[in-house]
Amino acid sequence: MLNTLSKLKDSLEKRNKENVLRSLNPEKQGIDFYSNDYLGLAQNATFQEILLKEINQQPHLLKGATGSRLISGNSNFTMEVEAYIANKHKVESALLLPSGFVANVALFSAIPQRGDIVLMDEFIHRSVRDGLRLSNAKRSKFAHNDLDHLEKLLKEAKGNCFIAVESLYSMEGDFAPLEKLTELAERYNAFLIVDEAHAFGVFGYGLVAQKNLHKKVFATVVTYGKGMGMHGAAILGNQTMISYLVNFSSPVIYTTGSNDFHAMSIKKGYQFLENNSNLSQKLQENISEFRKINLPTLSDVQSPIQILPMRNISSAKKLQQHLENKGFLTFAAVAPTVKEGEERLRICLHSFNSKEEINQLTTIIKEFI
């Protein structure tokens, strides 16, 4: 016991020395340029009123699920909402999960089988990699958004081949070339899986839906903790794939279901996003405002995530602290969240940021770098 604890302590001390120790800190006060609440739904009073009204009218929505969805924990309402979601995304089936992390682990641990291979973008989210650690499939990384590299790996691949990408990369703020990826997948009979965590809501129901690629993508993961400001996720795809998950995916089977309030709030979230498309327009205006000053960002002109490369951990952290002292909350992404030597400042833009706030932020950054 003592030996184990001292090993844990050593690892923490090593992190501390390297200036990358993580800790859970009290909530910060300041102007939000770091949350994933891109459209402000997490704090939207009108949306909260809608949810409250539903709870008041139907308090049974708060009843605990009481068991696994395969035993006592399923509900007709959750299944209705899953059918509603599938219909919105024009796919056969949708499966609700408590978070995007769980959805990716559920999908990637179960679907790729022994003898299969998963080719993943080098910057794919940790949840995909952790899911694959529970799978018997082989895995290999291709250079970020590098279609030539991917094609080379596809040519060499044996067995069923899956390609795993994010439509909008969370630590780069750039997009996957989805159309070209679907062409490659088609040419090599590979199954494309797209994580839409950061695109959902910001770009309608996500880029797969917006680009009408749903028939060419094997599975899509949309999450409800970012553009929708809540939590949860859905795996979207064909009925056989979803049935397979219900039969073989541990994170679906061996866990208590969510209550109906979760499903209800997601359904109301879809409706709210549909009725408030001005929010994503406002977000795009704010992104353009941010880009006016020409900071050396690596990110796409339409991305709500704007990344500024930093020289090292210390300069990333110093800039974050400097901004925080002035009342602006951003995030210094350092190893192991990003590769060592690729430290960066991550700025998230929102529909609710004012032009003045954005201009103040960019001016402070420009003066600092």
Binding site for ligand PLP (CB under 6 A): 99-101, 104, 125, 127, 166, 170, 195, 197-198, 223, 225, 233
CB nearer to ligand PLP: pick between 47 and 224: 224
In angstroms, the CA 322 to CA 136 distance is 46
Q: Give me the least distance between CB of 11 and ligand PLP, in Å please.
A: 23
**174 close to 300: Cβ distance less than 8 angstroms:** yes
CB nearer to ligand PLP: pick between 162 and 365: 162
CB nearer to ligand PLP: pick between 31 and 107: 107
Q: Give me the least distance between CB of 202 and ligand PLP, in Å please.
A: 13
Q: How many C-beta atoms surround the C-beta of residue 112 within 10 A?
A: 25
Amino acid identity of 241?
Answer: M
CB nearer to ligand PLP: pick between 100 and 289: 100
CB nearer to ligand PLP: pick between 157 and 181: 181
Closest-CB residue for ligand PLP? Answer: 100
Q: Give me the least distance between CB of 224 and ligand PLP, in Å please.
A: 7
Q: Give me the least distance between CB of 357 and ligand PLP, in Å please.
A: 24
Peptide bond into 336 cis (omega under 30): yes
Give, rounded to a whole angstrom, the gap between the first and last alpha carbons of the chain: 47
CB nearer to ligand PLP: pick between 221 and 365: 221
**345 close to 307: Cβ distance less than 8 angstroms:** yes
Q: Give me the least distance between CB of 105 and ligand PLP, in Å please.
A: 10
Task: Look at the block and give the residue holding tokens 């679906």.
Answer: 252
Q: Give me the least distance between CB of 198 and ligand PLP, in Å please.
A: 6
Residue 194 β-bridge partners: 165, 220
Residues contacting 128, CB < 8 A, separation 6+: 104, 108, 120, 164, 195
Paired tokens of 125: 């989210």
Residue 345 β-bridge partners: 308, 332
Q: How many CA atoms lie within 13 A of 182 on its CB side?
A: 16
